[in-house]
Chain A
Amino acid sequence: MGSGPREKFDNGLVEWVDSRLPIFTMMQKEYGVFPTPKNFNYFWNFGAILMVMLVLMIVTGIVLAMQYTAHIDYAFDSVERIMRDVNGGWLLRYMHMNGAHFFFVAVYLHIFRGMYYGSFKQPRELLWILGVLIFLLMMATAFIGYVLPWGQMSYWGATVITNLFSAIPLVGDSIVTFLWGGFSVDNPTLNRFFALHYLLPFVIFAVVFLHVWALHVTGSNNPSGIEPKGKQDTLPFHPYYTLKDLFGLLVFLIVYVMFVFFMPNALGHADNYIEANPLVTPAHIVPEWYFLPFYAILRAITFDIGIPFTDITIISAKLGGVIAMFGAIGVWFVLPWLDTHPVRSSRYRPLYRTFFTILVLDFIFLGYVGSQGADATLMGVPLSILGLIGTAYYFIYFLAILPWLSKNEKAKPMPKSIHASVLKGKKAAASALVVILVGLGAAGISAPAMAAGEYVKPPQKEWSFDGFNGTFDRAAMQRGLKVYREVCAGCHGLKRIAYRNLTALGYDENQVKNIAAEYFVTDGPNDEGEMFERNAIPSDHFVEPYANENIAKATNNGALPPDLSLITKARKDGANYLHGLLTGYEDPPAGKALLAGQYWNKYMPGHIIAMAPPLVDGIVAYEDDTPETVEQYSYDLTQFLSWAAEPEMEERKATGIKVLMFLLAFAGVMYAVKKKIWADLH
């Protein structure tokens, strides 16, 4: 590349470099004057957005890797240390975590844009194939990355997904053992996943380079699907599309930043704030949303395929599901040969557009099906059947409808050139966006049904820490600490909080020192090799009530009292749940017999709880005239434990407001710049 004839640069240094390595000539050619169809709509922003997201993921990932420990005993702790102790660590992690979600938002829009406008067609087949390859690599990277925090969903997700390979006949089990480096998901698995999670993004980067290279050979497709016929159809990439991309990027970042700062865990699962436990499977194992349509396809195949009227099974349901799931992505690789219709853009193919719109809605619907429990129903119909219908349409669309349309669809009359098409309306992009938003909205509305069954929604209280600029109630937190110390601490640890952290409750350093000194920790060994007891100091963490988990279980009828450091984050709707649980003890309904040591709680999933009602009126003496009631204790404790789970929250929201203001202003300026430049054309 760039070895052809070269124009001289005025700047001496630039010229010196360029005459030896024509990098500036290349930039000028590929990103400066590069002829680009002049009729792009905003769906053509996502390539640039994806590039930025990839860089953002790599950069935040590298600094996170400097703090992360890839060992099953330390992984979860090291992530919590990033959230609590590393400077700005919560920001890095939330950027990385939500960055993955938004990377997939952008890539799905990018892929479906390519399908809608026929960007995969001749001569862009290889460009498309490289793109599908990038998508596969992204899925692998995202899945592996999700395992690293070593929460419950990490562990069980890894177990379920790696077990897919056991469906392969004959060698399946050996492959799974090989993937694990052992006989279950364990430390060797975590170690290799970390190594691969660091490697794969760079592989993606390399394939992206090829993808962009291929793009610059054929040039971009455009909404009309008509190849540019001359100068009147194109614009130089810079400044027209650099500015338009930047504006689009900023709008995208604004939405992204809202999630990072104000609802960082909205797209994740509360269960992943519980450390991995090979002995307890969470009630609902659900993959991240971006895998859900494929997960639904996996689960749709619930029947063996064999020779009729015999017992011989050729493809078991398990293998069938795996084949269907991988086939659902595999079919994208051959898309250029399934849809061979000479017209690219859906604008001129009303039938294709109709079927494609159904496909998008089907894909979103499959996502919804994947998010539900295996035994869920929708309007009385078992979801497994609806999932199978959705899967069937998915494959019929690619394998039958597209080839049929290729031969039989009569396209609408097309404009002679891009230039001519621009003079017409541009409603297509807007309607596509409406389809996607309506679909996502529908999926979103039905999502709360997800955790139905035994779950009872706790009463929604107004908390001081809710909303865009909510803060914790310091006085309530101090009282909550007292309740924790006098009631909960007997059984529940708070190991992620150090005494020094209590300054956030409004205590000064001396008060913190005094609180710490009331505890004893085992230290040592000393010079004589003996362990000894000493008073705790501010840098110590809250002393655990039990020496180990087994003692904790043995003293509590076999039930392990969970550590409370993350409790409001590790439960859905955590603050309301906690408050509901603490105030939700009642007599069991008639006919329900409870065993000794069991209690009935309205908001506990399954209602049966091993913890005796911990709070009674007057159990903790408050120093001021705050009412000493269960309701008040519970409120104070919830304030305290919400802080314990998210000590960064106030800083996060305050930073978020600044970042949001900045991006809004930046986007405004960028819009003005873009408008000014494009004004000359219209």
Chain B
Amino acid sequence: MSAKKTTNSPKDETKRDFLQLTAAAFGVVGVASFAAPLVNSMNPAQDTLALASIEVDISNIPVGQAKTVMWRGKPVFIKHRTPEQIEQARAVDLAVLPDKQSDEDRTQKPEWLVMVGICTHLGCVPAGQKESDAHGDYKGWFCPCHGSHYDTSGRIRKGPAPKNLEVPPYEFVSDTLIKIG
């Protein structure tokens, strides 16, 4: 049977081309499906993802005090604001803000301010969680690295930071429990 194959008819050529293309396609798919799990293994693992959302008990934070919790490796500020602080945050004319956002948009309940405690300039953690801390010109938070001033709504008012402190996704599971993430 091998003796028959000495000449290549055009039909044979097409068959060979088709076979080779199929083989090449298999090769590409094979290498890609080998590479995919290697790359995917570098994504956050299941134990990391399991901590992607946390529940925080806020019943023990008195008015005027704040609590810092770790969420996805970052500090989250939870501030129980006083009526004056809420008043201050809401009285601001949006036109004067570098990053225009109303306090109503930044909070779900006026007395609770939840935000990621990382300065939007270069990633330092602003001071202002404790009463003895520096609070900046706007009585909120002050970043000691390059002097960004945040107000009682965590909005940037003065200094090099371009954006307000980020509000993470969160929800009130009950009056005393919030779920962040």
Q: Which residues of A contact B51 (CB under 8 A)?
A: 539
Q: Which residues of B contact A659 (CB under 8 A)?
A: 33
The reply to whether B41 and A87 form a contact with Cβ atoms under 8 Å apart is yes
Q: Which residues of B contact A682 (CB under 8 A)?
A: 2, 5
Q: Which residues of B contact A88 (CB under 8 A)?
A: 37, 40-41
Interface set, chain B 10-40, CB cutoff 8 A to A = 12, 15-16, 19-20, 22-23, 26-27, 29-30, 33, 37-38, 40
The reply to whether A662 and B30 form a contact with Cβ atoms under 8 Å apart is yes
The reply to whether B37 and A92 form a contact with Cβ atoms under 8 Å apart is yes
When C-beta atoms are compared, the residue in chain B nearest to A501 turns out to be B46
When C-beta atoms are compared, the residue in chain B nearest to A682 turns out to be B2
B166 interface residue per 8 A CB criterion: no
A7 interface residue per 8 A CB criterion: no
A320 interface residue per 8 A CB criterion: no
The reply to whether A92 and B41 form a contact with Cβ atoms under 8 Å apart is yes
* Distance A88 CA – B48 CA, assembled complex (angstroms): 14
* Distance A86 CA – B37 CA, assembled complex (angstroms): 10
The reply to whether B50 and A500 form a contact with Cβ atoms under 8 Å apart is yes
| Chain A min CB distance to B47 (Å) | 4
| Chain B min CB distance to A507 (Å) | 15
The reply to whether A537 and B38 form a contact with Cβ atoms under 8 Å apart is no
When C-beta atoms are compared, the residue in chain B nearest to A526 turns out to be B60
Q: Which residues of B contact A428 (CB under 8 A)?
A: none
Known: A86-B41, A680-B5. A673 touches B47 (CB 8 A): no
B43 interface residue per 8 A CB criterion: yes
* Distance A672 CA – B15 CA, assembled complex (angstroms): 10
The dominant DSSP class at the B interface is helix
| Chain A min CB distance to B173 (Å) | 11
B95 interface residue per 8 A CB criterion: no
Q: Which residues of B contact A662 (CB under 8 A)?
A: 26, 29-30, 33
When C-beta atoms are compared, the residue in chain A nearest to B7 turns out to be A680
The reply to whether A91 and B5 form a contact with Cβ atoms under 8 Å apart is no
Interface set, chain A 654-675, CB cutoff 8 A to B = 659, 662-663, 665-666, 669-670, 672-673
A59 interface residue per 8 A CB criterion: yes
| Chain B min CB distance to A542 (Å) | 14
B174 interface residue per 8 A CB criterion: no
Contact with B along A57-88 (1 / 0, CB 8 A): 00110010011000000000000010011111
Partner of A669, one of B12, B23, B41: B23
Partner of B30, one of A59, A87, A92, A666: A666
Known: A81-B47, A670-B23. A87 touches B40 (CB 8 A): yes
* Distance A88 CA – B29 CA, assembled complex (angstroms): 18
A114 interface residue per 8 A CB criterion: no
The reply to whether A63 and B50 form a contact with Cβ atoms under 8 Å apart is no
The reply to whether A498 and B50 form a contact with Cβ atoms under 8 Å apart is yes
Partner of A89, one of B26, B33, B41: B41
Partner of A498, one of B26, B37, B47: B47
| Chain B min CB distance to A67 (Å) | 7
A416 interface residue per 8 A CB criterion: no
* Distance A91 CA – B55 CA, assembled complex (angstroms): 33
When C-beta atoms are compared, the residue in chain B nearest to A677 turns out to be B16
When C-beta atoms are compared, the residue in chain A nearest to B8 turns out to be A680
* Distance A86 CA – B43 CA, assembled complex (angstroms): 8
The reply to whether B19 and A84 form a contact with Cβ atoms under 8 Å apart is no
Contact with A along B93-128 (1 / 0, CB 8 A): 000000000000000000000000000000000000
* Distance A66 CA – B22 CA, assembled complex (angstroms): 35
| Chain B min CB distance to A541 (Å) | 9
Known: A87-B41, A500-B50, A682-B2. A676 touches B22 (CB 8 A): no
Partner of B47, one of A92, A246, A539, A665: A539
Q: Which residues of B contact A538 (CB under 8 A)?
A: 50
* Distance A498 CA – B51 CA, assembled complex (angstroms): 12
B91 interface residue per 8 A CB criterion: no
The reply to whether B19 and A60 form a contact with Cβ atoms under 8 Å apart is no
Partner of B46, one of A60, A84, A92, A669: A84
Known: A85-B45, A87-B45, A498-B50. A60 touches B26 (CB 8 A): no
Q: Which residues of B contact A81 (CB under 8 A)?
A: 45, 47
Partner of A666, one of B12, B20, B26: B26
| Chain B min CB distance to A7 (Å) | 25
The reply to whether A87 and B38 form a contact with Cβ atoms under 8 Å apart is no
* Distance A86 CA – B40 CA, assembled complex (angstroms): 9
* Distance A385 CA – B60 CA, assembled complex (angstroms): 77
Interface set, chain A 68-124, CB cutoff 8 A to B = 81, 84-89, 91-92
| Chain A min CB distance to B180 (Å) | 13
When C-beta atoms are compared, the residue in chain B nearest to A500 turns out to be B50
Q: Which residues of A contact B55 (CB under 8 A)?
A: 537
* Distance A87 CA – B48 CA, assembled complex (angstroms): 11
The reply to whether A91 and B45 form a contact with Cβ atoms under 8 Å apart is no
* Distance A538 CA – B50 CA, assembled complex (angstroms): 8
* Distance A12 CA – B43 CA, assembled complex (angstroms): 40
Contact with B along A537-581 (1 / 0, CB 8 A): 111000000000000000000000000000000000000000000
Partner of B19, one of A246, A665, A673: A673
Interface set, chain B 44-79, CB cutoff 8 A to A = 45-48, 50-51, 55
Partner of B45, one of A86, A663, A673: A86
A283 interface residue per 8 A CB criterion: no
The reply to whether A91 and B23 form a contact with Cβ atoms under 8 Å apart is no
Interface set, chain B 143-178, CB cutoff 8 A to A = none
The reply to whether B37 and A91 form a contact with Cβ atoms under 8 Å apart is yes
* Distance A92 CA – B40 CA, assembled complex (angstroms): 11
A679 interface residue per 8 A CB criterion: yes
The reply to whether B20 and A63 form a contact with Cβ atoms under 8 Å apart is no
The reply to whether A85 and B47 form a contact with Cβ atoms under 8 Å apart is yes
| Chain A min CB distance to B77 (Å) | 14
The reply to whether A89 and B45 form a contact with Cβ atoms under 8 Å apart is yes
| Chain A min CB distance to B59 (Å) | 13
The reply to whether A60 and B38 form a contact with Cβ atoms under 8 Å apart is yes
Known: A85-B45, A87-B43, A539-B47. A679 touches B38 (CB 8 A): no
| Chain B min CB distance to A343 (Å) | 31
The reply to whether B23 and A679 form a contact with Cβ atoms under 8 Å apart is no
* Distance A673 CA – B22 CA, assembled complex (angstroms): 9
| Chain B min CB distance to A663 (Å) | 8
When C-beta atoms are compared, the residue in chain B nearest to A680 turns out to be B5
| Chain A min CB distance to B70 (Å) | 13
When C-beta atoms are compared, the residue in chain A nearest to B49 turns out to be A85
The reply to whether B5 and A679 form a contact with Cβ atoms under 8 Å apart is yes
Q: List the 3 closest A-B pairs by CB distance, nearest first.
A: A88-B37, A539-B50, A682-B2
Task: Name 25 A/B residue pairs within 8 A (Cβ), A-sorted.
Answer: A63-B41, A66-B42, A67-B41, A67-B45, A84-B46, A86-B46, A89-B45, A246-B27, A498-B50, A500-B50, A539-B50, A659-B33, A662-B26, A662-B30, A663-B30, A666-B27, A666-B30, A669-B22, A669-B26, A672-B19, A673-B19, A676-B16, A677-B16, A680-B6, A680-B8
- Known pairs A85-B45, A85-B47, A666-B23. 17 more at Cβ < 8 A? A63-B41, A63-B42, A81-B45, A86-B45, A87-B37, A87-B43, A88-B40, A498-B50, A539-B51, A659-B33, A669-B26, A670-B26, A673-B23, A676-B16, A679-B5, A680-B6, A680-B8
